[in-house]
Chains A and B, each alone.
Chain A
Amino acid sequence: MTSTLELKEDKMLKVQFVGDDDVLNHILDREGGPKIKKERAQLLVNTQKIIKKPENELEEDDQEVLKDQNYVEVLGQDVQESLKNGSATDGGNKVYPFQNRKHPEKMAKLASKLAKTPRKSVSLNKNDPEITIDIPQCSKGHSASDKSQLKNNDKSEFLSTAPRGLRKRLIVPRSHSDSESEYSASNSEDDEGVAQEYEEDTNEDILSQKIQAQNRVVSAPVCKGTPSKKMKRKKTSHLVEEYFEAHSSSKVLTSDRTLQKLKRAKLDQQTLHNLLSKVSPSFSAELKQLNQQHEQLFHKWMLQLHLGFNIVLYGLGSKRDLLERFRTTMLQDCIHIVINGFFPGISVKSILNSVTEVLDHMGTFRSVLDQLEWITNKFKEDSSLELFLLIHNLDSQMLRGDKSQQIIGQLSSLRNIYLIASIDHLNAPLMWDHAKQSLYNWLWYETTTYSHYTEETSYENSLLVKQSGSLPLSSLIHVLRSLTPNARGIFRLLIKYQLDNQDNPSYTGLCFQDFYQQCREAFLVSSDLTLRAQLTEFRDHKLIRTKKGTDGVEYLLIPVDNGILTDFLEKEEEES
Chain B
Amino acid sequence: MATSSVSKGCFVFKPNFKKRKISVPIEDYFNKGKNTSEDSKLRFETYQLIWQQMKSETERLQEELNKNLFDSLIEFLQTSHSGLWKNSEDWSCEIKLREIPTAALILGVNVTDHDLTLRSLTEVLQNNVTPYVVSLQAKDCPDMKHFLQKLVSQLMDCKVDVQSKEKESVQVIQKNVHYSMDSLSAWYMSVTQKTDPKMPRKKRTFSSQWQSPPVVLILKDMESFTTKVLQDFIIISSQHLHEFPLILIFGIATSPVVIHRLLPHAVSSLLCIELFQSLSCKEHLTTVLDKLLLTTQFPFKLSEKVLQILTNIFLYHDFSIQNFIKGLQLSLLEHFYSQPLSVLCCNLPEAKRRTHFLSANQCENIRRLPSFRRYVEKQSSQKQVALLTSDRSLKEETQSLLENLHVYHTNYFLVLRCLHQFTSSLPKYPLGRQIRELYCMCLEKNIWDSEEYASVLQLLRLLAKDELMAMLQNCFKVFQSSSAKELGNTAKKIEEFLAQFQSLDAETKEEEDTSQLQSKGLQKTDLYHLQKSLLEMKELRSTSKRQTKFEVLREQVVSFVDSLVREYLLPPDTQPLHETLYFSSAHTLRQHLNAAPRIALHTALNNPYYYLKNEALRSEEGCIPNVAPDICIAYKLHLECSRLINLVDWSEAFATVVTAAEKMDANSVTSEERNEVIHARFIRAVSELELLGFIKPTKQKTDHVARLTWGGC
Contact = CB atoms under 8 A, between A and B. Distances in A.
Interface of A: 58-59, 62-63, 66, 83, 87-89, 91-92, 94-98, 205, 208-209, 212, 215-216, 218-220, 222-227, 229-231, 233-234, 239, 242-243, 246-247, 252-262, 264, 267, 271-272, 275-276, 278-279, 282-283, 285-287, 289-290, 296, 298-300, 302-304, 306-307, 309, 314-317, 324, 327, 331-341, 343, 345-346, 350-351, 353-354, 357-358, 369, 384-386, 406, 423-429, 433-435, 437-438, 441, 443-446, 448, 450, 452-453, 455-457, 459-460, 462-465
Contact of B26 (A259, A307, A334): A307
Contacts of B591: 444-446
Nearest to A243: B710
B703 A98 contact: no
B9 A343 contact: yes
A95 B641 contact: yes
B627 A464 contact: no
Contact of A95 (B337, B649, B690): B649
A276 B684 CA distance: 9
Which of B645, B650, B686, B712 has most chain A Cβ within 10 Å? B712
Contact of B649 (A94, A233, A285, A433): A94
Contacts of A260: 703
Which of B139, B593, B622 has most chain A Cβ within 10 Å? B622
Contacts of B648: 91, 255, 257-259, 261-262
A334 B22 CA distance: 10
A331 B13 contact: yes
B1 to A, nearest CB: 6
Interface string B641-655: 111111111111101
Interface stretch (B319-327, B423-431, B549-557): B319-327
A164 to B, nearest CB: 24
A314 B591 CA distance: 11
Contacts of A254: 644-646, 649, 701, 704
B390 interface: no
Interface in B390-434: none
B686 A299 contact: no
Contact of B20 (A205, A302, A384, A453): A384
B660 interface: yes
A324 B653 contact: no
B663 interface: yes
Contacts of B461: none
B649 A252 contact: no
Contact of A335 (B4, B13, B679, B711): B13
Given A282-B629, A338-B13, A345-B9, A216 B659 contact: yes
Contacts of A283: 612, 614, 617, 629
Contact of A358 (B14, B23, B612, B702): B14
Contact of B12 (A227, A279, A354, A433): A354
A324 B13 CA distance: 13
B8 A425 contact: no
A59 B660 CA distance: 9
11 contacts: A212-B671, A276-B680, A279-B677, A314-B600, A426-B601, A428-B597, A433-B111, A457-B684, A460-B687, A460-B690, A463-B697
Interface stretch (B29-37, B238-246, B356-364, B365-373): B29-37
A324 B3 contact: yes
B379 interface: no
Nearest to B621: A227
A88 B469 CA distance: 81
B482 interface: no
Contact of B692 (A223, A332, A425): A425
A340 B646 CA distance: 32
B700 to A, nearest CB: 7
B694 interface: yes
B10 A424 contact: no
B264 interface: no
Contacts of B693: 425-427
Interface in B165-218: none
A463 B647 contact: yes
A230 B627 contact: no
A443 B329 CA distance: 12
B611 A299 contact: no
Contacts of A453: 687-688, 691
Contacts of A229: 622, 640
B608 interface: yes
Contact of A303 (B29, B688, B704): B29
B189 to A, nearest CB: 28
B236 interface: no
Given A303-B30, A463-B705, A272 B683 contact: yes
B121 to A, nearest CB: 18
B33 A299 contact: yes
Contacts of A63: 615-616
Given A89-B652, A278-B677, A286-B611, 4 more contacts: A231-B622, A316-B631, A426-B598, A450-B611
B657 interface: yes
B10 A290 contact: no
Contacts of B620: 66, 227
Contact of A351 (B10, B33, B647, B708): B10
A218 B659 CA distance: 10
Contacts of A264: 675-676, 679
B653 to A, nearest CB: 5
A423 B637 CA distance: 24
Contacts of A457: 684, 687-688, 690-691
Nearest to B681: A279
A219 B19 contact: no
Given A88-B652, A255-B649, A304-B333, A450 B608 contact: yes
Interface in B305-325: 318, 320, 322-323
B646 A212 contact: no
B595 A258 contact: no
Nearest to A271: B680
A17 B627 CA distance: 38
Contact of B711 (A233, A259, A384): A233
B636 interface: yes
B605 A316 contact: yes
Nearest to A437: B112
Nearest to B6: A459
B378 interface: no
B709 A230 contact: no
B604 A315 contact: yes
A361 B652 CA distance: 56
B520 interface: no
B592 A443 contact: yes
B15 A334 contact: yes
A74 B4 CA distance: 50
A417 B684 CA distance: 35
Given A254-B704, A279-B681, A346 B9 contact: yes
A429 B623 CA distance: 28
B45 to A, nearest CB: 13
Closest 6 pairs between A and B when the two form their complex, measured CB to CB: A219-B660, A343-B9, A444-B595, A230-B622, A316-B604, A275-B680
A330 to B, nearest CB: 9
Nearest to A99: B640
Contacts of A437: 112
B622 A340 contact: no
A98 B640 contact: yes
Given A87-B656, A279-B677, A307-B333, A338 B10 contact: yes
B624 to A, nearest CB: 5
A253 B613 CA distance: 39
Contact of A62 (B611, B625, B645): B625
A127 to B, nearest CB: 13
A219 B661 contact: yes
Given A332-B15, A445-B592, A255 B691 contact: no
B657 A222 contact: yes
Contacts of A332: 15
A342 B11 CA distance: 13
